[in-house]
Structure 1
């Protein structure tokens, strides 16, 4: 197993991509702190993984002191902390015309500032254990959909932070910082969002190849599988990297000539 003996915090891991990552790291031998807002869902994840492998902490990641509490729980429970996965995020629609200061601040607090604060709180443990930070971004970091302005800003800032810390922390302290940018992923929340937008209960079963060349979108488990390399020692000295996980390139994509329908994303 590739993560045997490691202790990892995965924020936003009661649902979706975070839950899939938590389950995957445990399958690779790690212990994990499950974090999120949904007590019942978190308890289900811990039950699946076993109390010896997982510890639950329910709290808004942007609360004052939340980052330090997560680190303290990991160290108190298993004696150390090897890695953090900054996955918790708010995905909310907004444009220039309906984004006020309070909304923008809220998105930045959760999606960008909280990953910074958790990295800061964990740094002594990460230095001691030559650990790793993995940030979960989004392909929206490059410009974003027209109605995901605040979210896109937050993920663009996260990507810059990854590259900055990936250089400075590794150069000075041996702590690797990398990021993956998932594309369109079939999470529980994504299914619900599209239904709220008026799509059918089975909207994801017959997708145009313009938006999903494989005929389907990416599964959380497929994103989770890609995280193990970055958390394991096998990634060696690689740091400051951002990897896109989507079905088509963000730069240089050959858009089909018949792509004239309204995007589902």
Structure 2
């Protein structure tokens, strides 16, 4: 992992899952982290305070509805003041859970509820990253180094390519992020030298990355079977740390932009174990 340094980092969806693991990593390596998430209860977890214990002023948690453009604009202004007008890393990670349609609905649902849910998921998963990237452009241009200003990292998913049942909005948003990554890499690169890349996680087990799991002492491997591990040619299911390593690489890779890094152990033939 990276050495201690002092970066200004904005992470969306940082209260749980992959986002929480990224918050932990950047705090533990001596950076200032501004987190946007709608889950206020998760921010009150003891571990958040523990990670920032040595420098409590390095963590800024803000409850924000990322489907609300006005709230996003307000938070970017606040973040700019906190960070002195400089941002080194923007990580667009948030998505409106659940990944599937709620209440066991399917896309054929005849009510308007399905379209309202579609609007929220696309707003959080795709429109918010675009708006945040727009608003943060001058901050990113002022951040980073002389040779390489701040960078944007979009967290997509292998579901952009290989969906499952009832993931239409999730897959559409994550696929859209890849197109957005390519376009912004060209536009923001030529005009501002801002790099834009995407990370595409496969099966990353995050059942231990939430407040409830902390209180119950749940570990990463809990609930995973031998079959789950053997399903992957790499020999195990993914960890948040696997995504962290890819993000760290992209933060420091000054000649890398418009790229997609897939973090996946592969899907092969299941091993058959004797009874």
- Establish whether TM, by shorter chain, passes 0.5: yes
C-alpha displacement of 1:202: 5.2
Query: How many residues are treated as equivalent by the alignment?
Result: 244
Aligned match of 1:168 in 153, 168, 187?
187
* TM-score, structure 2 as length reference: 0.79
Which residue pairs with 2:50 in the alignment? Answer: 48
Which residue pairs with 2:87 in the alignment? Answer: 81
CA distance in 1, matches of 2:63, 2:189: 31
Are the counterparts in 1 of residues 235 and 265 from structure 2 also a CA contact under 8 Å?
no
Which residue pairs with 2:198 in the alignment? Answer: 179
Three-state SS of the structure 2 residue aligned to 1:207 is helix
CA gap of 1:220–1:141, structure 2 versus 1, over 3 A, is same
Are the counterparts in 1 of residues 24 and 48 from structure 2 also a CA contact under 8 Å?
no
Three-state SS of the structure 2 residue aligned to 1:4 is coil
Three-state SS of the structure 1 residue aligned to 2:91 is strand
C-alpha displacement of 1:160: 0.4
Which residue pairs with 2:134 in the alignment? Answer: 120
1:54-100 CA-to-partner distances (Å, cap 9, x unmatched) read 11101111123232233223222231222210011124224542483
Which residue pairs with 1:220 in the alignment? Answer: 240
Which residue pairs with 2:156 in the alignment? Answer: 137
Unaligned runs of 5+ in 2: 144-148, 213-220
* TM-score, structure 1 as length reference: 0.82
Three-state SS of the structure 1 residue aligned to 2:141 is helix
Which residue pairs with 1:93 in the alignment? Answer: 100
CA distance in 1, matches of 2:222, 2:247: 28
CA gap of 1:154–1:238, structure 2 versus 1, over 3 A, is same
C-alpha displacement of 1:135: 0.5
CA distance in 2, matches of 1:217, 1:101: 33
**215-224 or 121-130, which deviates more:** 215-224
CA distance in 2, matches of 1:83, 1:189: 25
Which residue pairs with 2:165 in the alignment? Answer: 146
C-alpha displacement of 1:39: 2.2
1:6-43 CA-to-partner distances (Å, cap 9, x unmatched) read 10111111111101101112233321012222223213
CA gap of 1:17–1:242, structure 2 versus 1, over 3 A, is same
Are the counterparts in 2 of residues 208 and 215 from structure 1 also a CA contact under 8 Å?
no
1:179-204 CA-to-partner distances (Å, cap 9, x unmatched) read 10111111128999xxxxxxxx9541
CA distance in 1, matches of 2:224, 2:118: 30
Are the counterparts in 2 of residues 21 and 225 from structure 1 also a CA contact under 8 Å?
no
Which residue pairs with 1:211 in the alignment? Answer: 231
CA distance in 1, matches of 2:80, 2:254: 24
Are the counterparts in 2 of residues 24 and 225 from structure 1 also a CA contact under 8 Å?
no
Unaligned runs of 5+ in 1: 193-200, 260-265
Are the counterparts in 2 of residues 61 and 114 from structure 1 also a CA contact under 8 Å?
yes
